Structure 1
Amino acid sequence: MMHLTTPDTPATVTDLVHAGLLELGDGCQIHPAAVFLPADMLGTIRPIALGDRVAVGAFTVVHGGTTVGRDTRIGHRATVGEPEYGYALRRVYQGAGSPTTIGSGVVLRAGATVYAGASIGDDTTIGHNTLLRTNVKVGTGSQLAANLTVERGCTIGDGVRCSPGSHLTADTVVEDRTFIGAGVRTINDKELIWRDPDNEQPLLPPSFAYGCKVGSGAVILAGVTIGEHALVGAGSVVTKDVRARAIVYGVPATQHGKVNL
């Protein structure tokens, strides 16, 4: 029998539906090994809502406060709405849940992890074992490939393409139609110091403007802006802002031409 855990005792799907804690749309397909956890680590209970024809795979965990749109598929061993716990970015998280929104027509592939407070727009695909941390926002029609790490507070626009194995540091902004290659690294700290929480300085995430393209293996340093439709060559180390439509490459990256639109 499929079970959904409350703070005190396990409950069946029927129990949670009757209690108003689980809403199932028509035609949902829930694997018997899926688990729903309406209560967060502080004991606060939030309802879960699945739209019509949602599919949830084996050993997937869906936390309280999650809303899933119609025709979305959540693969095996995925986690959705995970409460943040422990120290990160000047504060200690206590395991509180938060509303988590998955749009319609979304595909969360096996092993994907989406933290509480995140939102994913319609018709977006999240790859195998990709991690979206707290309050990440992803727009519509984007494709985030396997084994990505997207840190807290990142904003990713519509129609974005990210290849496997890249890392977006906290609060990075990726505008619409951006392409990020495989194994791209972003940095938001110029001093590389693990600071005391009471003395941390503001972070300086990079940003990616509309339609820019970043080749595989590039490293984008703290505070750098990649301009609209700019092109960054593979393996480059970008230490300063890149102008709109500029073609840059090298270590450090320098301009070698312009993109013709």
Structure 2
Amino acid sequence: MPSIHPLADVQSKNIGKETTVWQFCVILKNAVIGNHCNINCNVLIENDVVIGNHVTVKPGVQIWDGITLGDHVFIGPNATFTNDLTPRSKQYPESFAKTVVKKGASIGANATIIAGNTIGEYALIGAGSVVTTHVAPHHVYYGNPAKHKGYITKEGKLVDLQYKDNEGVLYHFNNNQLIIKE
């Protein structure tokens, strides 16, 4: 059973077991949230949203219609998603752009993810970055606009553009996984 703070406005019945929703959150009725998630205070989650298992959403995040977060995703404080590439007041598109954050990806504090992009598995988006393009699995992006600056392993070890970590260990991709080169 989920743990929902009494000061949260949770309209959805689709919230997984052992998920915690903190105070001042608004979760609309059609949102789907998995098991063992931590939805921190001051988070808004709209209707056409799917959140996987073991996801952490830090304070001040709005997850708009059209956004999907995979399992084990981390969304840092005040990260921003968009879902309409040409917004106008009181003029709504027929459908919102789809944004997908894949399994194990992390998005740093105050990063902005422009609508319609996919953040690949275990990718890392640096704090304050503005993502305007798809990000491949295990890639590290940061800056404004965010640029490819390196790689990251599933375990969180940073690897430079020459596929070396800070200890000089060499890595390579095998079946879309970043692993030590033998």
* Structure of larger gyration radius: 1
Residues 259 and 196 (structure 1), Cα distance of their counterparts in 2 relative to 1, 3 Å cut: closer
Distance 1:234 1:205 in 2: 22
Distance 1:164 1:144 in 2: 8
| Aligned match of 1:243 | 136
Distance 1:214 1:169 in 2: 16
CA RMSD of aligned residues (A): 1.3
Q: Which runs of 5+ in 1 are unaligned?
A: 1-103
Deviation at 1:196, TM superposition (A): 4.5
Q: Which runs of 5+ in 2 are unaligned?
A: 155-182
* 1:78-104 C-alpha deviation (Å, 9 max, x unpaired): xxxxxxxxxxxxxxxxxxxxxxxxxx2
| Aligned match of 1:193 | 88
**1:227 pairs with 120, 124, 142, which one?**
120
Residues 187 and 201 (structure 1), Cα distance of their counterparts in 2 relative to 1, 3 Å cut: same
Distance 1:237 1:189 in 2: 15
| Aligned match of 1:113 | 9
Distance 2:73 2:89 in 1: 31
Secondary structure of the corresponding residue to residue 140 of structure 2? strand
In the alignment, does 2:12 pair up with 1:122?
Answer: no
TM-score, normalised with respect to structure 1: 0.57
Distance 1:159 1:177 in 2: 5
Deviation at 1:171, TM superposition (A): 2.5
Structure 2 counterpart of 1:127, which letter? W
Q: Is the 8 A contact 2:122 2:153 kept in 1?
A: no
Deviation at 1:195, TM superposition (A): 5.0
Deviation at 1:136, TM superposition (A): 0.4
Quote the sequence identity (%): 30
| Aligned match of 2:71 | 176
Deviation at 1:202, TM superposition (A): 2.1
Moved over 4 A (4+): none
Higher relative contact order (CA 8 A, sep 6+): 2
Deviation at 1:126, TM superposition (A): 0.4
Structure 1 counterpart of 2:49, which letter? C
**1:257 pairs with 150, 162, 165, which one?**
150
Distance 1:243 1:194 in 2: 33
Deviation at 1:110, TM superposition (A): 3.0
**1:136 pairs with 25, 31, 34, which one?**
31
TM-score, normalised with respect to structure 2: 0.81
- The aligned length equals 154
